[in-house]
Structures are given as C-alpha cells and as structure tokens.
Amino acid sequence: MYKIMLADDEGIVIDSLEFIIKKEFGDSCIVEYAKTGRNVIELAEKFRPDIAIMDIQMPGINGIEAMKEIRKNNSSVIFVVMSAYDKFDYAKEAIKLGVIEYITKPMERTKIISVLQKGMEMVDREREKRSNDLIVKEKLETVVPIIESGLIYDILLQENFAEDIDNYKTMLGLSASHAYMVSIVCGDGQVGSHMTNAVGSSVKMQQHYQEVRECLKEYFDCIVGTVMANKLAVLVPYEKERMDYNERIDLIDRTRELVRHMRKKTNINFRIGIGRVGELREMAVSYNEALNALSITTGSVAHADDLPIGCDYAGDYPVHLEKRLFEEVEKGEVNHARTTAGSFFDWMGDSNPHNLMEIRLKVLEFVLWAEHIAYDKGGMTYQFGSRQDYLPTLMKIDELDILKTWFQEKIADASRNSLGKREEKSNSIIEMSKEYIRNNFTKDISLDEVSRVANISPYYFSKIFKEGTGKNFIEYLTGIRMEKAKELLSTTEYSMKEICSMCGYSDPNYFSRSFKKNVGVTPTEYKNV
C-alpha cells in the first residue's frame, strides 16, 4: 500500500491526478489532497505520505517552503514537483530537498505514471532496507546478550581471558582500555549487609532480567552478565586509569537513582557494589572489590574507594603494580610477570635510588611471596633451607641493574612453576578424556559426559581440549569413529548397518553422510576400492 499526497490549488488538477492514480494503480494507493501550503503541512503530519506531488505555486506558503517543513518530520517522503513555471531557481531548491522529478504543466498521463512507478520502487527499496535493518537488529538483540555474558563469564573465571579479550572487544565494539565492575545483589529485604531470600529473589530477577538489563543500559554504557544466584555482574568501560572524587560522587548518586528505578520497576530490593577502575584483565579484582564493598556496608550503594583499607600506602606507591604482579604469578603469565616486576623495580629505583637496602628487602619480600604462591599452587616443592643463599646473594649485589635482573628472573621462575602445574593439570585432563573417548566412542557419548568424567565444567573442558588437541570435542570424536570405520570396511565383512553401530552411529544414513564429508567418498565406495 502506498500513501500519495496531492498538493495543488486547482481542483481540476487534483481530480485528474486522482483519476489517473486510481485507474492505473487501483486499491494499492491511498490518495489524500490539500490546496494550500498550510493545509499540506498539516495533512502531511497526520497522513505521513510515501509520495507527495507538490505544486510550487500555492496560496500562502509556497511548495518549496512546505516541503522544507514536511521534510523536518518525515525524512523518507519522496517529493515530485509540478509547476506551470519553468524556473531554474525553484528547480535548484527542489533538488536540494531530494525531489525525484521536476515536471511542468500540463502533465502527460504517461509521465505521471512513470514518475509514480519510480517513486513506488524507491518506497519498496526503503521498506525492504528498513525490514532488513530490523531483522539484523533483532538478531543482534538476541546474540549480543550471549556475547556479553561470555565476556563476564571469562572475566570472573579468568579462563583463557587474555586470548579472548581482543575478540570480545571487536564483537562488542569496546575501545576503552580500562573499566570497573559493578555487582548487583537482590533480595526480599535486608538484614545488616545480608539480602534475605536469595533463592526466591534470584528467580524473580531472572523473570525481570530484560527489564533490569534495560535499566542498566539506560544508566550506564555497560556489558551485562547473566543472573548468578541472586547476583548480576556488570562491566562498565572507562576511558581513564583512575576516577577522581567528583566523578565517583556523581557515579554513586546516579547508581542510587538506578537502585530506586529498578526497585520501582520490578518490586525487587537491590544493593549495588562498585569496584575500582583497572585494566580489563584486572576486572576479576574489581568485581571482588565490589562484592567486598557490599559485605562491609549496609547502604544501597557502596564504592570500594569509600571503604577503610587495612593498609595505607604513602605517596605514589604503585598498589596496582603490586596486585597485578601477584595475579600474573598465580596465573603463570611468565612474560607479563617479568615485565611487571621490572616496572615495579623501576619505580623503586626512581623513588629511592640511594636506599639500596630498602630495595633489597622489598625484592626479597616479593620473591618469597611469589614462591609461596607457586608452593600453594603445587608448582614447587618446599624444602627448608632451599633459599638460604637469597639474603647473602642480595647483600652482595650493589648495582641496581644486576639486582633488577635477579628479581625478574626469580619472579619469572615462580610464574613458570605455577604455569607448569596448570599445564600439567590440563594435559592430564586431556589424556584422561582422550582415553575415555577411545574406550567409549561406540556409545552415544557427549561433551557434558566427558567433562563430568574429567570433573571440570563443560565450558572449561571445551577450551582446554581444543587447545590441547587442535580439535573440538565433536571433531576429535568423529575422527576416532572414522578411523575405526575405515578399518572395519577394509578388513572385515560386516554389513554396513553393523559397522555403523560399531562406530557409535544409530542412523546408517547419517553415518554415510558423515563418512562422505570426512573421508571424501561413501562407505561403499571406500570398501570397493
């Protein structure tokens, strides 16, 4: 259906145009008309035409000015200009407004039909484009929450986060290098810092998830995770390394308003904790800070920077480097840990270049703690007396460059030991899984089943299995089954149905298709070679 508006002060022109349109296009068009510039503008606001045939010379407001007003409220309307005056200046103005044709009176019937067909084609293309845009938007609205939840999941569990972060940034259009985490906790009520009826309220929040998500997106440019128990983790990208006092106060006020808004919309009580700003790979720390802020306060909103801390650091002490260093040691990020250790040492050298003893003591403190982390991870075996040479060695070093190298290598060794234990565990899981698949490929086994055998989550299992084998679970399982099928086809006289069953397939047709896809020929062709 096309809406066509006619604008001309001559009744005979309107009647002629309406007759031609009705005769040529029938019920596919709705026609309305007006005879003055003001009436045309008013009609356009109510009628919202697809195509407007406009006379330039009309009583009151002329056609050009009327088109300018109509265009303000209807950017997609298609204009056709008609006039008994062939004036170039009018034509130029009309072109600026996106007029598709400029025709003079008296108008030919074939010309009118041709122009309208052209306009209708343009309307159809625009409608198709809008429809396609809506389809894409609808799909994105389905996919984006899944991607956002995946990012939050990786942040909290730190599973291959370093490898995935660039992909997440691309898919979600993240450009900020820093961020902070927000923890939203819900309940029926509050006793001290504790929210009551965590289970029941989590069900309610799940039911109102879309509303909560929309509220968060309205107040923050943020990434929203899924409901976990009665909690919701949110990532807020941030352009700067730190948040100043005024920004923090504004953030807290805005968050309090958000709490009130969500409570009113969902009839659920909320508390929100806010962590400190940090690099994206440090967001697990920020989230824990947000949770901690809620645990030691009773207000509706708590910011980590407003809490009393156990230790005060004088001057410009790089707390963020200290935190980062031990996180990297724990994760086994050898190169990152070495670099961070170097940065911390450089700070010590710049701040206290003449206090070598203090630098030695700090180096010893950090190395001992890094090794403690490695011991705790099971990556190092503790032996009393194994570090008796550390202090004498440090006391003999009088040059900062040599001391820095010793420090970095000890930190790197501790990280490497943590990584070794982690890789050892991964390798053990992979070998156990491969053996289970080889022993059970004739059955209907699944990724969930094998991950239960390995005693880790399906998500984590999928990641380390792909990293360790170069194939995902299905690809590896299919490869084992195909090798067995080729062996049976080449060396036995079993029927195709029997071979199908012996290779873990219940459907012979599916088996045949899978074999052809992976081997390049059908099972029968392979057997007859």
CATH number (domain holding residue 53): 3.40.50.2300
Among the listed residues 17, 194, 507, 300, the one whose alpha carbon sits nearest the alpha carbon of residue 8: 17
The verdict on whether omega for the bond into residue 106 sits within 30 degrees of 0, i.e. cis, is yes
In this prediction, residue 313 has a pLDDT band, given cuts at 50, 70 and 90, of: low
Looking at the structure, tell me whether residues 12 and 109 fall in a common domain.
Answer: yes
Collapsing DSSP states into helix, strand and coil, what is residue 200? Answer: helix
**pLDDT number for residue 31:** 92
Question: pLDDT at residue 88 above 50?
Answer: no
Q: Which of 39-43, 159-163, 198-202 has the highest mean pLDDT?
A: 39-43
**pLDDT number for residue 50:** 92
Higher pLDDT, 142 or 114: 114
**pLDDT number for residue 379:** 44
**pLDDT number for residue 316:** 73
Looking at the structure, tell me whether residues 296 and 321 fall in a common domain.
Answer: no
Looking at the structure, tell me whether residues 286 and 316 fall in a common domain.
Answer: no
**Pure H helices in 378-399:** 390-396
Residue 446 resides in a domain: yes
**pLDDT number for residue 195:** 87
Mean pLDDT of the chain: 83
Higher pLDDT, 327 or 179: 179
Looking at the structure, tell me whether residues 338 and 292 fall in a common domain.
Answer: no
CA distance 302 to 140: 33
Which two structure tokens, joined as six digits, stand for 473?
A: 């679970």
Higher pLDDT, 382 or 9: 9
Domain's final residue, options 470, 494, 523: 470
Question: pLDDT at residue 380 above 70?
Answer: no
Question: pLDDT at residue 456 above 70?
Answer: no
Higher pLDDT, 427 or 367: 367
Question: pLDDT at residue 314 above 70?
Answer: no
Question: pLDDT at residue 272 above 60?
Answer: yes
Give the lowest-confidence range in 108-117, 364-373, 453-462, 518-527: 453-462
Residue 368 resides in a domain: yes
Residue 525 resides in a domain: no
Q: Which of 128-132, 140-144, 498-502 has the highest mean pLDDT?
A: 498-502
Domain's final residue, options 272, 287, 306: 306
Percent of residues, the chain, with pLDDT higher than 70: 88
The set of residues, in sequence order, having a beta carbon less than 8 Å from that of 502 and lying 6+ positions away, is 442, 484, 488, 494
In this prediction, residue 425 has a pLDDT band, given cuts at 50, 70 and 90, of: low
Residue 383 resides in a domain: yes
Looking at the structure, tell me whether residues 61 and 86 fall in a common domain.
Answer: yes
CA distance 443 to 473: 15
Looking at the structure, tell me whether residues 285 and 390 fall in a common domain.
Answer: no
Higher pLDDT, 310 or 387: 387
CATH number, domain containing residue 201: 3.30.70.270
Looking at the structure, tell me whether residues 284 and 188 fall in a common domain.
Answer: yes
Q: What is the phi-psi region of residue 372: left when phi exceeds 0, alpha when psi lies from -120 to 50, beta otherwise?
A: alpha
CA distance 56 to 47: 20
Looking at the structure, tell me whether residues 318 and 465 fall in a common domain.
Answer: yes
Whether 64 contacts 94, CB under 8 Å = yes
Q: Phi and psi (nearest 5°) for 227?
A: -70, 125
The set of residues, in sequence order, having a beta carbon less than 8 Å from that of 21 and lying 6+ positions away, is 4, 29, 31, 112, 116
Domain's final residue, options 306, 336, 362: 306
Mean pLDDT (whole number) for 329-347: 87
Whether 343 contacts 302, CB under 8 Å = no
Higher pLDDT, 166 or 89: 166
Mean pLDDT (whole number) for 156-177: 74
Looking at the structure, tell me whether residues 300 and 318 fall in a common domain.
Answer: no
Looking at the structure, tell me whether residues 444 and 301 fall in a common domain.
Answer: no
Question: pLDDT at residue 35 above 60?
Answer: yes
Looking at the structure, tell me whether residues 285 and 332 fall in a common domain.
Answer: no
Percent of residues, the chain, with pLDDT higher than 90: 20
Mean pLDDT (whole number) for 423-449: 79
Is the alpha carbon torsion for 9, 13, 16, 17 positive or negative? negative
Residue 133 resides in a domain: no
Residue 154 resides in a domain: no
Give the lowest-confidence range in 27-31, 94-98, 363-367, 487-491: 94-98
Residue 84 resides in a domain: yes
Residue 372 resides in a domain: yes
Quote the number of domains for the chain.
3
**pLDDT number for residue 29:** 93
Model confidence pLDDT, tens digit, residues 348-361: 888 887 788 988 89
Mean pLDDT (whole number) for 31-57: 90
Mean pLDDT (whole number) for 190-197: 83
Looking at the structure, tell me whether residues 293 and 318 fall in a common domain.
Answer: no
Mean pLDDT (whole number) for 135-149: 70
Collapsing DSSP states into helix, strand and coil, what is residue 5? Answer: strand
Domain encompassing residue 328: 311-470
In this prediction, residue 273 has a pLDDT band, given cuts at 50, 70 and 90, of: very high
Question: pLDDT at residue 86 above 60?
Answer: no
